[in-house]
Amino acid sequence: MASKKSWPLWEVFVRSKNGLEHRHFGSLHAADAEMALENARDVYTRRNEGVSIWVVESKHITASNPEHNGELFEPAQDKVYRHPTFYEVPDDVKHM
Contact residues for another protein, defined by CB under 8 A = 1-2, 4-7, 9, 26-29, 31-32, 35, 42-44, 46-47, 63, 65-67
Alpha carbons 22 and 91: distance in angstroms, whole number: 40
**Which is closer to another protein, CB of 6 or CB of 77?**
6
**Which is closer to another protein, CB of 43 or CB of 51?**
43
CB of 78 to another protein, least distance (A): 22
**Which is closer to another protein, CB of 29 or CB of 59?**
29
Alpha carbons 23 and 88: distance in angstroms, whole number: 37
CB of 80 to another protein, least distance (A): 24
Alpha carbons 68 and 34: distance in angstroms, whole number: 36
